[in-house]
Structure 1
Amino acid sequence: MSPHLRRRTRALAGLLVPLALISAAPHAEPGRDKVAAAVRDDLKDGTATFFVRLRGEADPASAAARAPATKAAKGAAVYAAMTGYAERSQARLRELLTERNAAHTPFWIVNAVKVTADPALAAEISALPEVAGIEPIGTAEAPRPAPGTRQSLTAGGGVEWNIDRIKAPRVWKKLRNRGEGIVVATIDSGVDFEHPELAAQYRGSHPGGRVEHDYNWFDATGVCAGSAPCDDLGHGTHVTGIMTGRSGIGVAPRAEWIAVRGCESAKCANDFLLAAGQWILAPTDLDGRNPRPDLAPDIVNNSWAKARRDDWYRPVVKAWVAAGIFPMFANGNTGPGCDTTETPARYVESHSAGSFDVNDALMPESSRGPGENGVTKPDIAAPGVDIRSSVPGGYFVWTGTSMSSPHVAATVALMWSAAPALRGDIAATRALLDGTAVDTPDTGCGGTAADNNAFGEGRLNAYAAVRSVPREPLGTLHGTITTHGRPLPGTEVTVTGPLSRTVDTGRDGGFSLRRLPPGDYQVTAYKPGYATATTKLTIKADRTTTTRLRLRTDGPRGLG
């Protein structure tokens, strides 16, 4: 059964209590050493749905290390290694389940299979030597943020206080950087893709109003009607607005976004979140087929968490990191007590954000560290109190670390847009974020004035972070698209080479792409109703290259 099955027969109450299995006489009883007690208990009703966890996991870091140094190559290597490992280790289990006609969904992002079975089949599964355990399907939460109070705008042009506080407008104006060329993603409650703040930045949007949801949207829950993105809760739309909103609510207003719905309500079932994690690494078409690791986002924001401390999502985060995808998490809203950082934010591999207000004071509910093995958590703090952003139908003000995390995610987009060579280097990016944060003393939960379990490394400073990125020789491309001697606005121009970028022409038919690494590129111009035009050119460091392409309504494709 496909992991992208869109309709699930799951009662809401079943989301709040982990699914479990147990046998009852006269059925055969699964081996107790492998079966969780809650799972054994649930099988008394005859059938249950559960995870079968197999022994061993793929090594995505090793696969990425053997691949060429590009992000696309690393993503492809990680995908091949993980799917291959899952197919080999799960082969006998999958064969058994197919023979028994048992509903099952194999995963590859973790070495597990979701199974619905009766006690007798559960006993057969448990007897397989490659099976490590049979476990309940739990849930995480998309914490419902608290309503906030709108703060006064703090800068000209309608920029919200939180955007101004991290100095994002300085990046836009002084560094001429709004996140161009970078793709951010959310795993959340969905997104209102037609919201005026977000519509133009959706990667599925094309000139002339054409919209393509393949590879840009995935509903792991099956809640949304039809194939288009939806968000009946508003949480994901709010988070996405903080990252890419256009009119002063977003940190990186020219970054593109894609999204996964992994939360069917305020709850996020673990199987949905695993399917979401897979899609982030290798987006698929709307049928869940033809995965494309080369279309994976650069950054993924996760404003959800679970209180239970376990490793269930660690393989997902490790795979993202190996593939060069920055893993950003909200630290949680369970403060002010110490050691309250939630999962997966508490993982060493995760980068997590705490929350502060307009007075730079820590939000009382912001979860404190330390994280696992005593590491500092959160890693950094960002605005999260009284944050105005987009929701379906308008705007709303919310408070929570759910709002803090996307500030950091979008700052990474600004950093990677400024320095393409840094793109996909998670360790170096984390070091720059930490090194440029504003030290804020709070040692109540341990640490030092510069590195503590309340503010982490300090308060986010997007301008300092972007200025700290390695300087590299880059070039600029200017071009014009015409037809029959007239400018052709609304043409989609794609540049592929050492870096791939897409931009639309303006009213004058012109386009401009800055911060391109030197090298050979192909430029493709596309507009419905016209023959596609292509040309090849070379970008040189510290130089501006110009090109002109003519699109024809008839005849062969033309080069300008």
Structure 2
Amino acid sequence: MTSEAFRWPRTVSAMGALLLSLAFLLSSAAPASPAPRASKIDADVLDRLQSSAAAKVFVILKAKADLSGAPAVKDWTARGWFVVNRLKATAEATQGGVRALLASRGLEARPFWIVNAVLTTADAATIDVLAARPEVARIRLHRTVPLPPTIRGEAGSPGSAPEWGIVNIRADDVWADFGTRGAGITVANIDTGVQYTHAALDTQYRGRKADGTFNHNYNWWDPSEVCGNPSLAPCDNNGHGTHTMGTMVGEDGANQIGVAPEARWIAAKGCESNSCSDFALLSSGEWILAPTKINGSAPRAGRRPHIVNNSWGTPAGGDDFYQSTVQAWVASGIFPQFSNGNSGPGCGTVGAPGSYPESYGSGAYDINNVIASFSSRGPSPFGSIIKPNISAPGVNVRSSWNNGGYLAISGTSMASPHVAGTVALIWSAAPSLLRDIAGTRPILDSTAIDTANSTCGGTTSNNNVWGQGRLDAYAAVDLANG
């Protein structure tokens, strides 16, 4: 890109900006084909500008970092920094013109590097000038993603056996026969937070020190500062995140709720309450790659988790906004586990990011091995690939809640952490597979229990209702062990 391309918007006069704004508004109303720059502006941005003087938008740059060399880097810390440094270098090399333009107009700019984008609030004239820049690919509205609706059941009382989902996928048999309970693996969730003092979760929290005190640096992130300013300790003002974390690692003796109870956990509050803003999700995605102190300083890529569970998503399965985030996680060796969505039973209802080829998405079934009616179906809008990838227990799943107790709820949000916990068992039992996502997915796929359903297309062994079938943690660990 030439220096002239960077300088041009800074020299636009006030009258020129006014004319550009007028041209922008006229072109959006005219039936003729839009100008190339107008075609970069999403329709909902234009709609917002019809009713508001300004819109909060992401200015997405064309340039993307080349992360193809990451898998060749064998050291965990070095591989993490390879990915982070490539992403940051690309953002720094290409965002300068956009940020300078915004600064010249007195507008705030929040840069991101996991997606090469700048977040700002701008009027129609500024948005039009931004879209005209050759390095800009798209102007996208900042959105808020609602958490998938869940169905509450009864809390129930602890029994003498693990919860039904753990028994169903045979995780308890993994504990008994292989002596594997997830030790050495760190899981994370991007969710509503976690009640870190919960009896089923406090000893598994990576921030808990041997003397029983806590250090939340590198273990907790709250980008929207919902838990306080500054956010000094984890909180969960919803319950959803405490529940999904419990299904991954929870246990307090009497309550055996977690698939991998010896794994450690960290968390990012990407969902402010019952919804998740794009800002918080992207910030959390960056933190997952390189966790920081609670004030956002001193990132350390070597402290990133091995697995991240994402029980959130947009109903629009074709939304590719988060794809760069998932691709970066995969490049760094983080297993990206997602819920498939709760918009079933119609075909093609899978949500994003679970719909991405890089994401491993889970559908939900009940204690009788019947697929949940709400479980979103494929195919994915991305190449019509089969989605979900697999299905797991997701109906009336009892786990930890943010009041210190337990609650049974339903949703693919509950199914996804069963899969994340299973990956923790696999990687704990077979450390040679650690960060080998391409080698781990076929193990999950090939050991799943085939469940035929041709309603939305596919085969007996791989279809758009069940994916590869029902999750079998025991068979997966057995195969991984060779």
TM-score normalised by structure 1 residue count: 0.76
The separation in 1 between residues aligned to 2:40 and 2:455, in whole angstroms, is: 41
Q: 1:63 aligns with which of 59, 65, 69?
A: 69
SS of the residue corresponding to residue 460 of structure 1 reads coil
Residue aligned with 1:207, SS: coil
1:148–1:385 contact (8 Å) kept in structure 2: no
**1:248 maps onto 2:256 in alignment:** yes
Letter in 2 for 1:238: H
Is 1:137 the counterpart of 2:142? The answer is yes
Residue by residue over 1:489-511, the C-alpha shift from the partner in whole angstroms, topping out at 9 and shown as x without a partner, is xxxxxxxxxxxxxxxxxxxxxxx
Q: Deviations over 1:279-308 (max 9, x none)?
A: 111111112121111111000000011112
State the Cα RMSD in Å: 1.9
For residues 209-267 of structure 1, the C-alpha deviation after alignment (integer angstroms, 9 at most, x for no partner) is: 22111111111222112411111110000000000001310000010000011111222
Q: 2:205 aligns with which of 202, 206, 213?
A: 202
Residue in structure 1 matched with residue 8 of structure 2 by the alignment = none
* Alignment match, 2:373: 364
> In the TM superposition, what is the alpha-carbon distance from 1:29 to its structure 2 partner?
5.3
- The residue correspondences of 1:116-195 to structure 2 (distance < 5 A) are 116-149=121-154, 157-195=160-198
Contact 2:156 2:408 in 1 (8 A): no
Return the structure number with greater strand share. 1
| Structure 1 residue 25, shift from structure 2 partner | 8.1
Paired AA for residue 40 in structure 2: K
- Equivalent residue in structure 2 for 1:50, among 30, 36, 57: 57
Matched ranges for 1:196-345 at <5 A: 196-225=199-228, 226-246=231-251, 247-308=255-316, 309-345=318-354
Checking the alignment, whether the CA contact within 8 Å between 1:445 and 1:454 is kept in structure 2 is yes
Q: Any residues of structure 2 matched to 1:364-513 within 5 Å, and which? A: 364-371=373-380, 372-393=382-403, 394-471=405-482
Fraction of identical pairs, as percent:
48
Cα displacement string for residues 426-459 of structure 1 (whole angstroms, at most 9, x for unaligned residues): 0110000111111112122112221111111111
Equivalent residue letter for 1:389: S
The 1:143–1:162 alpha-carbon spacing in structure 2 relative to 1, beyond 3 Å, is same
What is the Cα deviation at residue 469 of structure 1? Answer: 0.7
The equivalent of 1:40 in structure 2 is 46
Q: Displacement, 1:37?
A: 3.6
Query: How far apart are the structure 1 equivalents of 2:352 and 2:366?
Result: 24
Q: CA deviation at 1:342?
A: 0.9
Match of 2:31 in 1: none
Shift of 1:94: 1.9
Residue 167 of structure 2 aligns to a residue in which SS?
A: helix
Change in CA separation of 1:341 and 1:90 when aligned onto 2, cut-off 3 Å: same
Q: CA separation of 1:118/1:376 partners in 2, compared to 1, >3 Å: closer, same or farther?
A: closer
Q: Give the distance between the partners of 2:368 and 2:400, measured in 1 at CA.
A: 23
Question: 2 CA distance for matches of 1:29 and 1:230?
Answer: 48
Count of residues in correspondence between the two structures: 445
The one-letter code matched in structure 2 to 1:349 is: E
Q: After superposing the two structures, state which structure 1 stretch, 338-347 or 110-119, moved more.
A: 110-119
Please state if 1:83 is matched with 2:92: no
Q: Which has the larger radius of gyration?
A: 1
Q: What secondary structure, in the 3-state scheme, does the structure 1 residue paired with 2:225 have?
A: coil
Q: Is the 8 A contact 1:38 1:136 kept in 2?
A: yes
Which deviates the most, 91-100 or 345-354? 91-100
1:477 aligns with none
Query: Once the 2 structures are TM-superposed, how far is the Cα of residue 389 of structure 1 from its aligned partner?
Result: 0.3
Structure 2: segments with no counterpart, 5+ residues: 1-16, 25-36
Change in CA separation of 1:150 and 1:440 when aligned onto 2, cut-off 3 Å = farther
Change (3 A) 1:178 1:81: same
Q: Which has the higher mean CA deviation after the structures are superposed, 98-107 or 23-32?
A: 23-32
Q: Equivalents in 2 of 1:350, 1:344: separation in Å? A: 7
The Cα shift of 1:32 comes to 2.2
Preserved CA contact (<8 Å) 1:150 1:386: no
- Name the SS of the counterpart of 1:315 in structure 2: helix
Tell whether the 8 Å contact from 1:50 to 1:115 is kept in structure 2 after alignment: yes
CA contact (8 A) 2:63 2:90 kept: no
Greater mean deviation of Cα atoms: 69-78 or 331-340:
69-78
Q: Secondary structure at the match of 2:406?
A: strand
2: distance between equivalents of 1:148 and 1:360? 18
Q: Tell me: CA distance 1:176–1:145, structure 2 relative to 1, closer, same or farther (3 Å).
A: same
Following TM superposition, by how much is the alpha carbon of 1:117 offset from its aligned partner in structure 2, in angstroms? 2.4
User: Could you tell me which residue of structure 1 aligns to residue 29 of structure 2?
Assistant: none
Asked whether the 8 Å contact 1:29–1:123 carries over to 2, the reply is: no
Conserved 8 A contact 1:29-1:119? no
Q: 2:390 corresponds to which letter in structure 1?
A: I
Distance 1:277 1:34 in 2: 25
* Change in 2 beyond 3 A, CA 1:370/1:118: closer
Indicate if the aligned counterparts of 1:150 and 1:387 stay in contact, CA closer than 8 A. Answer: no
Whether the 8 Å CA contact 1:334–1:367 is kept in 2: the answer is yes
For residue 26 of structure 1, report the CA deviation from its aligned partner.
Answer: 9.6
2: CA distance, partners of 1:457 / 1:48: 42
- Structure 1 gaps of 5+ residues are 1-22, 472-560
Contact 1:202 1:258 (8 Å CA) reproduced: yes
CA offsets 1:329-364 (integer angstroms, 9 cap, x no match): 001111111111111111111101111111111111
Could you give the per-residue CA deviations for residues 3-37 of structure 1, whole angstroms, max 9, x where no partner exists?
xxxxxxxxxxxxxxxxxxxx988955555233234
Residue 160 of structure 1: how far off its partner (Å): 1.0
Please tell me the residue identity of whatever aligns with 1:425. D
Give the counterpart letter for 2:349 in structure 1.
Answer: T
- For each residue in 1:380-410, what CA deviation from the matched residue of structure 2 results, as whole angstroms up to 9, or x when unmatched? 1100111100001211010110000000000
Shift of 1:461: 0.9
Q: Distance in 2 between matches of 1:29 and 1:202?
A: 56
